[in-house]
Amino acid sequence: MRKRLLIDLNLAICVILLIFIVFLFLYKLDGGNLNSKDEQFSDGWTYEDGTPVDFSNLRYEPEAGSITKTISPEQVSGADLCFESRSLFFTVYVNDTAVYDFHPDLIRIYGNYYGECIHTVDLPALEENSVIRIDYSTLHEAKTSTFYFMKIQEGASFVRGMITENFANYIQCFVIMVLGVVLIVVGFLFTADPNSVIETISLGTTAIVLALWTSSGSRIPQLISANSAMVRVMDYMCLIFLPVPVIILIASVSRQLESKLPKILIGLCGLNLVLNVVWVLALGRDYSEILFLTHIILGIGVLFIISLSVSAYKKSGKFGKNMKVIVAGFSVLITAGILDIIRYYMLKATDASLFTRFGLLYFIILFTIYELNLFLNIIRKSAQTEVMEKLAYNDGLTGLLNRLAFTQEENSIREKGAGKYVLVQLDINFLKQVNDNYGHAEGDRFIIAAAELINDTFGRYGKCYRIGGDEFFAILEGKHSEEDYDKATRLFEEKIKEVNDRNEFHIPLCIAYGKAVYVPGTRDFDETEKEADRLMYENKKILKAAGYQAK
């Protein structure tokens, strides 16, 4: 089967399973409790003075406010009171009996508020019409300090509905965060160029920060963690940290890391972090009260990005491919961010990252494609370099290391000045007769067979080189190198005999060899090589005396 088809088959399986996962959360089977409820419950509430309650503008009651509603047994049978609260402490009563209390202990790091918290209140079984009352105190004077999505519904169904409704937004953020983690791993493990490392890791960090910040709008982190206060703190920290990886990314891509602008912005972010910590931990205030400082720094960051982009354009007279990607990605992301800031301050929107999520998805996908292309180019160049290196240091006929690699190894051994080495000089006998009588193609077969035999034996314990037409060399290193040499030679002799017994060549394969031991500081390296060469020639004489000769 074709490799491309196999790859496509794997991808198709992944896509199909992802579709099933999406449907898993978007649809549910019909059926269940016949008495289950799913009713809006935000109408019919009144204040103590009889005024109807408008949850979009709940009265500010810093000390004690109270709202009530009359309910019937049929309304609440088999169901819970479900809602989301924001910046409120409260207690729920049924007929003056407390059934739910929410006064969490907000440690100083949380600030003064807890964000958006999901509640499912287990209501008691009723026999007659009853009064449900919520006594509350408002932590923050704003329209956003109220109760949301109030329903009479089974608690599990309410939570499942929240997850289903916001699943697409959360998956979007989750995918972006995973991409960020992948980019950081790629940056650390597979990227050699320092600038590329900085770009890839900065992009990955930007993706993670933005994904964490926008994910809170889906409410799923609050449901999973059961700690909406910490999710809220994470939101503020993400906004504080966001300009750092972004400006590093832009400066790296535009080759302006030494510019003062990134240093200034990083310094401002550090100062902002310190101010927030002091404001909350030391002064007992809340992050939201100085959020405008973070927005100002984000605005300064936008101006710095524009400045770096203009500077890069002036230097080259045009935007390179990398800068075009930056301009396209950040234009959309910045526009989305500005729209969300306007919605936050002017429209008091509760989901302050609606447009940013879409801008972020576009930005991350665009940059991820760009970085992956860079990564693939690096892999391609590395492969080409590896091939060129192999061509430079390996013998084309036998695949063994060549004369250049041997010379480098000689120099390396001389420079080390320590260790123990066995130097083995080898030479093929009768190669000239093979070439003269049977042609150079047969001679090449002769050389290849000798090289394979040498590599199968001496290559088990060291490095093997072809240093000339019929000349080879092996270097065995280590304190046991002489024992390794003895093992290699025994195997070497056995394999030569096996080859010749099979009569593979017109002339028997005969290889002479000699060895010498080199220990730095005890003798000269060149003299050791000469000794190995001399012993190899003595071995030639022994082989001839033993009857090895060309037919």
pLDDT in tens, 262-272: 999 999 999 99
Overall average pLDDT of the 333-359 stretch = 70
* Lowest-confidence region among 59-73, 262-276, 280-294: 59-73
Q: Which of 207-216, 341-350, 524-533 bottoms out in mean pLDDT, i.e. has the lowest?
A: 341-350
> In this model, does residue 33 exceed pLDDT 80?
no
Examine the pLDDT at 374 and tell me if it is beyond 80.
no
User: Rounded distance, CA 178 to CA 208, Å?
Assistant: 8
Highest mean pLDDT among 56-65, 153-162, 272-281, 542-551: 272-281
Beta-sheet strand order (sheet of 511-518): 462-466, 471-477, 421-428, 511-518
* Phi, then psi, of 394 in degrees rounded to 5: -120, 145
Strand spans (E) along 372-501: 421-428, 462-466, 471-477
For 38-153, CATH number out of 2.60.120.260, 2.40.10.120, 3.40.50.1980, 2.60.40.10 equals: 2.60.120.260
Q: Which residue has the tokens 């019409």?
A: 129
The Cα 238–Cα 232 span in angstroms is 10
Q: Where are the beta strands (DSSP E) in 372-453?
A: 421-428
**Percentage of residues in the chain with pLDDT exceeding 90?**
29
Residue 351 confidence (pLDDT) above 90: no
pLDDT in tens, 138-181: 887 777 788 988 999 888 888 888 888 887 778 878 888 888 88
Residue 536 reports pLDDT greater than 50: yes
Tell me: the pLDDT tens digits for 244-257?
988 888 888 778 88
Per the model's pLDDT, the better-predicted residue between 529 and 506 turns out to be 529
d(CA 146, CA 175): 32
Least confident of 176-190, 203-217, 312-326, 396-410: 312-326
Model confidence at 199, pLDDT cuts 50, 70, 90, reads confident
**Three-state SS sequence of 309-351:** HHHHHHHHCCCCHHHHHHHHHHHHHHHHHHHHHHHHHHCCCCC
The answer to whether residue 316 scores a pLDDT higher than 70 is no
Pick the closest to residue 63 from 136, 113, 134, 132 (CA basis): 136
The whole-model pTM stands at: 0.61
Highest mean pLDDT of the ranges 31-45, 60-74, 246-260, 450-464: 450-464
Residue 34: pLDDT above 60? no
User: How confident is the model over 502-519, as a mean pLDDT?
Assistant: 89
Residue 288 or 214, more confident: 288
Query: Of the segments 172-186, 317-331, 393-407, which one has the largest average pLDDT value?
Result: 393-407
In which band, very low, low, confident or very high, does the pLDDT at 551 lie, cut at 50, 70 and 90? very low
- Per the structure block, which two tokens stand in for 408? 């480098």
DSSP conformational letter for 394: B
Q: How confident is the model at residue 476 (pLDDT cuts 50, 70, 90)?
A: very high
Q: In this predicted structure, what is the pLDDT of residue 70? A: 92
Percent with pLDDT over 70 in the chain: 83
Supply the pLDDT for residue 133: 94
Q: How many CA atoms lie within 13 A of 188 on its CB side?
A: 7
Q: Which residue has the higher pLDDT, 543 or 374?
A: 543
Taking alpha carbons only, the member of 216, 214, 182 closest to residue 200 is: 182
Q: Which position has the higher pLDDT, 397 or 362? A: 397
- Give the range among 36-40, 112-116, 254-258, 390-394 with minimum mean pLDDT: 36-40
- Which CATH homologous superfamily contains domain 403-545? Reverse transcriptase/Diguanylate cyclase domain (3.30.70.270)
Instruction: Write 500-508 long-range contacts (CB < 8 A, 24+).
Output: 504/449, 505/434, 505/442, 505/445, 505/446, 505/449, 506/434, 506/437, 506/438, 506/442, 506/551, 507/430, 507/433, 507/434, 507/437, 507/438, 507/446, 507/550, 507/551, 508/430, 508/548, 508/550, 508/551
The mean pLDDT of the chain is: 83
